[in-house]
Copies of this chain bind each other. A is one copy, B any other.
Amino acid sequence: MAVGDISLPTTIHPISGVRLGVAKAHIRYADRHDLTIIEIDKNAAVAAITTQNQFCAAPVQLLRKHIQQSSPRYLLINTGNANAATGDDGYQRALATCQALAERASVAVSDVLPYSTGVIGETLPSEKIIAHLDTALADLAESHWLQAAHAICTTDTIAKVASERILVGDTVYHFTGISKGAGMIRPNMATMLGFVATDANIAPQLLNTMLKRLADESFNRISIDGDTSTNDCCTLIATAQSGTIINDENHPHYQPIYEALRRVFVRLATLIVRDGEGASKFITVKVTGGADTQQCADVAYSVAHSPLVKTAFFASDPNWGRILAAVGNAGVALQQSRVDVWLDEVAICQRGGLAVGYSEQAGAEVMRRPEITIHINLGQGEATDTVYTCDLSYDYVKINADYRS
């Protein structure tokens, strides 16, 4: 059961210069779209960041090589099989699918980036993917974002789409993205995937910098169980169909474009948390008053990763001692007497002790809400950071224990 606001955008804006096509390749599921091609105009800039897991999958290894060599023209995405822990054979199969698509589209093999998500350790049925490339190519259309959002899912319960349109001066910019759930929360189902496109004209170097920053404010700020999958990838496309070239952060359009992209990225990332398996609460951990951002992130993650905090939220128990213990456990130098903590508007801890006027009743009332913000002020400086997480429920254990057995 996904938590809270999981609605699709009222309008999903097509991005001029990006077309999407899907097909049923029968990779793992009998009768659903599981193969997606994203075609990118040749003038576009493309940036990608990939998992830091050292056991990264074959397609991730190949993607890293290809994006060094070319400006990507096609993204080739399959679900049902992660092609991870498959050795050299897995690498060759990923390469074969890229080659087959490159031939059909008359581009270089390095112009194709491969993405796989699904079961770890099984042989990729590359022949099935190749056999259905023509169907996916025939399906290419600027309007197929929602179809693609469904086709990249594994066991996600909702399609994840975000879309924005902004007017800056006389220029209209569009931003649309899709993502799929953190595989880490689904047994054997590897991968968070995110694809975001805009028609803005952003220089490749700047696009890379922006993607890194955007990911650090969104996909790198969510935690369901602290596991990082072997296949995580996030890709940002700027098709250069709208406005003039933006080379640096001083361009007057840069900031509004960055903010729109940030909203799209945060929405796509938080939809993954809202669809976290077993999740019954959506929790925002906001840390303020830090000496620097890293300190805030360390504290936020320590709280977001703590099984004791997460089970307390599942139980709607305002167990503030667990939150303080997690704050103290972040590996960050703190002065207890400067730390304040709130649950939404209710102060639970002031200067390291129980807040004056706090009542268990007020705490319990907040804890029953489906969306809760834990606000921790470290009382050291001006830095802030935010991490998004969910609770830890029976269903998390049930789903992850029952699968396969």
Could you tell me which A residues sit within 8 Å of B by CB distance?
52-56, 84-87, 119-121, 184, 187-188, 190, 225-230, 305-308, 311-312, 314-317, 319-322, 324-334, 336-337, 339, 349, 351-354, 392-394, 396-398, 400-405
Contact = CB atoms under 8 A, between A and B. Distances in A.
A389 to B, nearest CB: 13
10 nearest A-B residue pairs (beta carbon): A55-B328, A120-B321, A315-B401, A311-B400, A53-B328, A54-B328, A87-B353, A54-B334, A225-B307, A311-B401
A329 B324 CA distance: 27
Nearest to A395: B397
25 contacts: A52-B329, A52-B331, A53-B325, A53-B329, A54-B327, A55-B325, A55-B336, A55-B352, A56-B328, A84-B321, A87-B337, A87-B353, A119-B321, A120-B321, A120-B324, A121-B320, A121-B353, A187-B311, A187-B312, A227-B325, A228-B325, A228-B329, A230-B328, A312-B400, A317-B403
A11 to B, nearest CB: 37
A316 B405 contact: yes
A402 to B, nearest CB: 7
A321 B54 contact: no
Nearest to A186: B308
A81 to B, nearest CB: 12
* This protein's copies in its complex: 2
A86 B401 CA distance: 39
Contact of A333 (B54, B228, B316, B320): B54
Contacts of A392: 307, 397
Contact of A334 (B55, B184, B312, B317): B55
A85 B53 contact: no
Given A55-B325, A87-B351, A400 B227 contact: no
State the majority secondary structure of interface residues on A: loop
A400 B312 CA distance: 7
Nearest to A86: B353
A322 B397 contact: no
Contacts of A84: 321, 325
Contacts of A230: 324-325, 328
A323 to B, nearest CB: 10
Contact of A54 (B85, B184, B336): B336
Contact of A321 (B188, B307, B321): B188
Given A306-B227, A307-B225, A401-B314, A327 B55 contact: yes
A307 B187 CA distance: 10
B312 A401 contact: yes
A394 B398 contact: yes
B394 A85 contact: no
Contact of A188 (B226, B319, B393): B319
A101 to B, nearest CB: 26
A54 B227 contact: no
A335 to B, nearest CB: 8
Given A54-B328, A55-B339, A316-B405, 18 more contacts: A52-B329, A54-B329, A55-B336, A85-B352, A87-B337, A120-B321, A120-B325, A121-B320, A184-B325, A188-B319, A226-B305, A227-B307, A227-B308, A227-B325, A227-B329, A228-B325, A317-B401, A394-B398
A334 B54 CA distance: 6
A354 to B, nearest CB: 6
A396 to B, nearest CB: 7
Contacts of A400: 307-308, 311-312, 315
Contacts of A327: 54-55
